[in-house]
Amino acid sequence: MRSGRHFLQIPGPTNVPDRVLRAMDFPTIDHRGPAFAELGRRVLDGMKRIVKTEAGHVVIYPASGTGAWEAALVNTLSPGDRVLMVETGHFAMLWRRLAEKIGLEPVLVQSSWRTGVDPDALGSALCEHGDVKAVCIVQNETSTGCATLIPEIRAAMNAAGSDALLMVDTISSLASIDMRMDEWGVDVVVAGSQKGLMLPPGLSFTGVSPKALSAHAQARSPRAYWDWSEMLAANERGVFPYTPATNLLYGLSEAIDMLEEEGLEAVFARHDRLAEATRRAVRGWNLEILCEEPRHYSSSLTAVLMPGESGADALRGVILENFDMSLGAGLSKMTDRIFRIGHLGDFNELMLMGTLSGVEMGLAIAGVPHEPDGARAAMEYLIETAGGGA
Ligand SMILES: *Cc1c(COP(=O)(O)O)cnc(C)c1O
């Protein structure tokens, strides 16, 4: 038994707000009945506002984000098609492996794990590989804390005269960092429930542009569970072709209400501010932020490099044992070299200060060389930028 609340400060799954938990605590209803159709329409329309599309559709799956990765590819492409991917980190590499497994031919643009996608490098790759059918970008690389500026990617594709589909993984950025599907010319948006959307794991989404839907009509990859055609036909009536995750959809409806009550722009500004406070704390500890490119700093998480020989996993263990807080581990080639602080979803100033204080105490207990000035630097920034004056 541990008293008080566990601090779940990994960059997803994130803390589920009480309002969402309560909204799901209802009897499961008949998913073919009239009450369900009303809920179905509400969440389908709401998700279009969250990804900012009027021209397109959003498809909702009972699946983790990985399912939406697969859905995006099998619905729009044919075996042997070449797709352009950029090695921004662990998640970009997993999406590439999935593409290979289903018979596509990914062309990989090399990149360091310390920046987002460089539009010039992408433009050169597009000129060299003019036949790619899709460009697949992770908007926010959850393994590194580096975010890519999607309008720059669209501009590089236009400059190269590419008519490939633009697919963007927003699993750890949707509802934390802006996504404007129509305005930015994104053809497929891939999203998941358990990060910025503040829900438990179990739902994923694909935003589908009219151009993606035309590609769908020609695409020959085998698909059944993920098939957009049957989904969109049923969704017209507010229902689904197979049993949807009804109680998660109750939660989704509540989460959309919460995001719209706060206002999406205010939600993004809150994430930007808490992310900046976190970076000031890292500098106050005299530690290094993994992301080397300030334009690419992520507003949903910060990855911190360990100094010298200190291991990140031992530090995370000390923090979990002493303060009941979970931090994100380094993944694949970053294993034990970094820890990741999630600051996305249902999160505020005092939750951030609890998080940063826990890290600062953990650094001291674990004997990691650092300066004890992180929490103070974050507080100074929060005071400077506080909205409510005397
Ligand atoms: C979490 C995450 C995924 C994987 O999602 P699952 O729900 O674990 O399948 C993919 N991409 C990014 C950017 C993520 O953050």
The whole-angstrom separation of Cα 208 and Cα 136 is: 14
| 50-63: average pLDDT | 98
**Strand 338-342 to strand 140-141: parallel, antiparallel, or no bridges (unpaired)?**
unpaired
Which atom of ligand 1 is least distant from the CA of 64? 7
Q: Is 12 in the pocket of ligand 1 (CB under 6 A)?
A: yes
Residue 388 pLDDT: 77
Residue 390 pLDDT: 64
Which whole-number Å values give the CA distances from 78 to 168, 231, 232, 234, in the listed order?
19, 20, 20, 24
- Sheet arrangement for strand 325-329: 7-9, 325-329, 338-342, 301-305, 288-289
Pick the CATH number of 18-261 from 3.40.640.10, 1.20.1260.10, 3.10.450.230, 2.40.10.120: 3.40.640.10
Q: Residues with Cβ < 8 Å from 384, sequence gap 6 or more?
A: none
What's the gap between Cα 156 and its chain centre?
23
Per residue in 151-183, pLDDT tens? 999 999 999 999 999 999 999 999 999 999 999
Per residue in 209-242, pLDDT tens? 999 999 999 999 999 999 999 999 999 999 999 9
Q: Is 244 in the pocket of ligand 1 (CB under 6 A)?
A: no
**Which CATH architecture describes the domain 7-14+263-388?**
Alpha-Beta Complex (3.90)
Q: Is 145 in the pocket of ligand 1 (CB under 6 A)?
A: no
First to last CA, the chain: 41
Residues of the chain with CATH 3.40.640.10: 18-261
Q: Is 221 in the pocket of ligand 1 (CB under 6 A)?
A: no
- Select from 69, 73, 142 the residue to mutate for testing ligand 1; criterion: most ligand atoms less than 8 Å from CB: 142
Evaluate if pTM is beyond 0.95: yes
Residue 103 pLDDT: 98
In the predicted structure, residue 119 carries a pLDDT above the cut 80 = yes
Torsion angle of alpha carbons 107, 77, 206, 120, nearest 10°? 30
For residue 376, name the pLDDT band (cuts at 50, 70, 90): very high
Helix (H, G, I), strand (E, B) or coil at 286: coil
